[in-house]
Each structure stands twice: as C-alpha cells, then as structure tokens.
C-alpha cells in the first residue's frame, strides 16, 4: 500500500523530482514525489565496487573515495548524499606520508607535520580489504602535543570549503561535515574513545580549555562554509553515541558545538543535519528541545541502537526530518532481499506520512552487504514510498 497523505489546502507534490529536489524537500519536512532513499554506503561499499585494494582508494586516492561514491550512487540508482569535505579533519597544508612497512594484506604509514612546537605524528594501517585505522594517534601527551595540533589547525586557510560542490548535480545534495567535540577528540587522541572518556574525568579543566578552543575553530569554519551556501552542514557525531559516551559528556562537550553550528545554520536558512549512530534516543530528545537541528539520523534500532522509528516520528516529527533506520547488519548484511523489502516497508509506514522522512540504513553498510539487498532497498522506496 502506498503512503497515504491528505494534502489539506496545499498543492500536491511535484510528480517527477530530481534526487536533489526530493532530498531537500524531505529535509525541510515537506512532501516529495516519493520517499528519498539514501542507504549509508559512504565508505566500504563504494571501495569494494572499484575492484581495487582498499589502500588504493584511501591511501593513494586512485580513485578518491568521493568519486567511488558517485559511481556507487549511479550504480544503485539511489538518491545521493555527498559528504566528503570534513572541515575538522581537512588537511591544509598536507601531511607528509612515509610507508614504513608493506605486507601482503596491509600497508603501515607514518604521517606527520612539523610545527614550531615539534613534530605532530600518527601511524596508520591501510588494510587491503578494509578502511584504514589508527595504530597510534597524534595526541599522546596532551600538554606536549595539543599545542602542535592547535598550531596546525590555525594554519588551515579553508579558502574555498565548498569547491567540490561542482561534483554534485541533480543526483544528490552537497554537505559540509564538521565533527562534534567527541568526534574530534576521539580522532586525534592516542587510545581512541576509551582514552578520550578517561580524559574528560582525569583532566576536566584542560579538556574544558580544549573544548573552548574547538568552539572557536568551529565558529570560524562554519561561517566560512555557510558563506558558500552548501545544501547542508552535517554534524558528524558517530563518537558521540551513547554506546560510547554518556549524557553528561554529551551535554558538557558536544551540545555546545551542536548548538553553535545549528544556530548559525538557522540564521542562514541552511539545513543542519546530525549523524549519531548507536544508542541515540535520548540525544534525539535533547536536540529537539535545545538545538536548531533539522535532520536526525540514522536512528539506529536495537540491538545496535535504541530508537523506535514510529515513536520518534510521533514525538519529534513536527520539527525533525528523520532519516533511517533499516538494520545494517542483521537485515542489510545477513538478510535476504525480501527481508530488506519488508523492513523498508515498515520504516515507510512508521515515518513517511506527512513528509519529512528519508529511508536509510541504521548506520554504515558493511563491505560485504549484497548488492541485491541495496537494490531491494532502493526499489522499495521507488515502488512503495509514493504519496497518494
């Protein structure tokens, strides 16, 4: 059964939208020609589709991951979401890279930049069939290493943050990404998320000062990005999930960043979109009450998350566009195409009525997600997600 919507006194939606029009209409809580469908395949699936070792994409940029994603969007016939310009992590100027070890299944790379305060360094692993991961983070001793990182971040000119917008046509929208504080700190801190959580407790005064520095940085780069009018600002908050973090950490460290970015977007009438996977139900409610966020995703369902899509639609759908939440591992990775279709139909029934919904997955699709399952998700949106 198609999604049933009564149009009141408003005009029915345009019947043949481009992907760009469709997504933007849904993100502004309108009713598009059909439910947009944007499975999260921003990393592993596009890399797999190239048929190349993953280190070609992530280390050598042959091709760049962003180009591989564009090809994947066209391959699956989905609506596209280009989010490859992350202003927190953008390398300007570029780091020096030296391969220190080559194995049959892995390349180890030392990456560094020299600063007036000494060398800032990290060590990365580039597996043959998986995305890269850090063997050693750049901040080992906060007092010693953070001045190096601060100096480097202050050098970034970011003169044309939306330069890649020209890559995106009617097949999708262009977003600029900025990390939450937790996302920033987990990325740079040696020891990752567990060490980051310990820092907030053991070195709270120092971490408060770093948070204030990061807020200033975010203010600068958000204003630069908004000047060039991207389709949206994406607040990248994977590490802010309550599967890793806590409500106290979220309120003390992440919420000030989210309030700042979303308020600046509101002033410029640019969509503000937050990604926080895992357990996020409480964060949806906090953002609803205390921020200017427009879109929340991926609203992961149990067992990976704790979100009931129908419940958040009922309680928060008057302000949020909701994006999600087909199970990524049990359904997309391990299930059949029929399983995907059934769960996608449930999501559409739960959250599409009245508009403001994008069909997606509950998080990043795994590398070995069957192509037929992704095709099934896309086809279900096209055939079942229509407004009548």
Q: Do residues 235 and 336 both lie within one domain?
A: yes
The answer to whether position 167 is within a domain reads: yes
Q: Do residues 71 and 214 both lie within one domain?
A: yes
Q: Do residues 228 and 119 both lie within one domain?
A: no
Please report, for the domain that includes residue 212, its CATH number.
Answer: 3.20.20.210
The answer to whether position 149 is within a domain reads: no
The answer to whether position 148 is within a domain reads: no
Q: Do residues 275 and 344 both lie within one domain?
A: yes
The answer to whether position 83 is within a domain reads: yes
pLDDT in single tens digits along all 388 residues of the chain: 456 554 444 455 667 899 999 999 999 999 999 999 999 999 999 999 999 999 999 999 999 999 999 999 999 999 999 999 999 999 888 999 999 999 999 999 999 999 999 999 999 999 999 999 999 999 999 999 999 999 999 998 888 899 999 999 999 999 999 999 999 999 999 999 999 999 999 999 999 999 999 999 999 999 999 999 999 999 999 999 999 999 999 999 999 999 999 999 999 999 999 999 999 999 999 999 999 999 999 999 999 999 999 999 999 999 999 999 999 999 999 999 999 999 999 999 999 999 999 999 999 999 999 999 999 999 999 999 999 7
Q: Do residues 102 and 218 both lie within one domain?
A: no
The answer to whether position 48 is within a domain reads: yes
Q: Do residues 60 and 99 both lie within one domain?
A: no
Q: Give pLDDT, residue 156.
A: 87
Q: Do residues 250 and 109 both lie within one domain?
A: no
The answer to whether position 150 is within a domain reads: no
Of 137, 170, 202, the residue at which a domain comes to its end is: 137
Of 72, 104, 137, the residue at which a domain comes to its end is: 137
Q: Give pLDDT, residue 319.
A: 96
Burial level of 287, CB count in 10 A (0-12/13-18/19+)?
Answer: buried
Domain count, the chain: 2
Q: Do residues 85 and 127 both lie within one domain?
A: no
The answer to whether position 374 is within a domain reads: yes
Q: Do residues 280 and 194 both lie within one domain?
A: yes
What range defines the domain where residue 99 resides?
91-137
Q: Do residues 58 and 75 both lie within one domain?
A: yes
Q: Do residues 81 and 97 both lie within one domain?
A: no
Q: Give pLDDT, residue 8.
A: 40
The answer to whether position 178 is within a domain reads: yes
Q: What is the pTM of this model?
A: 0.94
Q: Do residues 167 and 285 both lie within one domain?
A: yes
């Amino acid at each position: 059964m198609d999604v049933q919507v009564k149009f009141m006194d408003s005009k029915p939606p345009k019947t043949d939208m481009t992907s760009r029009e469709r997504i933007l209409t849904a993100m502004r809580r309108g009713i598009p020609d059909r439910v947009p469908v944007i499975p999260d395949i921003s990393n592993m699936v596009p890399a797999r589709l190239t048929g190349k070792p993953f280190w070609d994409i992530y280390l050598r940029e042959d091709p760049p991951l962003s180009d591989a994603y564009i090809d994947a969007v066209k391959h699956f016939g989905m609506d596209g979401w280009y989010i490859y310009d992350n202003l927190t992590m953008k390398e300007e100027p570029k780091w020096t890279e030296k391969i220190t070890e080559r194995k049959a299944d892995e390349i180890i790379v030392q990456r560094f930049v020299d600063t007036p305060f000494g060398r800032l360094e990290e060590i990365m692993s580039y597996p043959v069939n998986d995305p890269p991961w850090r063997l050693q983070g750049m901040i080992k001793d906060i007092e010693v290493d953070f001045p190096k990182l601060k100096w480097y971040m202050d050098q970034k000119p970011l003169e044309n943050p939306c330069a890649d917008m020209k890559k995106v046509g009617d097949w999708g929208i262009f977003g600029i990404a900025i990390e939450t504080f937790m996302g920033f700190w987990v990325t740079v801190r040696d020891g990752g998320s567990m060490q980051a959580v310990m820092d907030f407790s053991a070195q709270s005064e120092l971490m408060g000062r770093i948070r204030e520095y990061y807020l200033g940085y975010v203010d600068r780069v958000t204003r630069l990005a908004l000047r060039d009018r991207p389709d949206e600002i994406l607040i990248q908050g994977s590490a802010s999930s309550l599967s890793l973090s806590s409500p106290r950490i979220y309120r003390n460290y992440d919420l000030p960043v989210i309030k700042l970015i979303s308020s600046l977007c509101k002033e410029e009438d640019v969509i503000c979109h937050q990604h926080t996977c895992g357990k996020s139900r409480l964060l949806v409610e906090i953002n609803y009450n205390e921020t200017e966020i427009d879109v929340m995703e991926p609203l992961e369902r149990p067992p990976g998350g704790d979100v009931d899509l129908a419940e958040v639609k009922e309680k928060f759908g008057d302000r949020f566009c909701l994006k999600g939440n087909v199970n990524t591992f049990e359904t997309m990775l391990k299930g059949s195409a029929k399983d995907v279709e059934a769960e996608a139909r449930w999501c559409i029934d739960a959250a599409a009525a009245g508009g403001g919904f994008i069909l997606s997955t509950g998080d990043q699709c795994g590398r070995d997600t069957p192509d037929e399952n992704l095709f099934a998700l896309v086809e279900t949106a096209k055939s079942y997600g229509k407004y009548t």
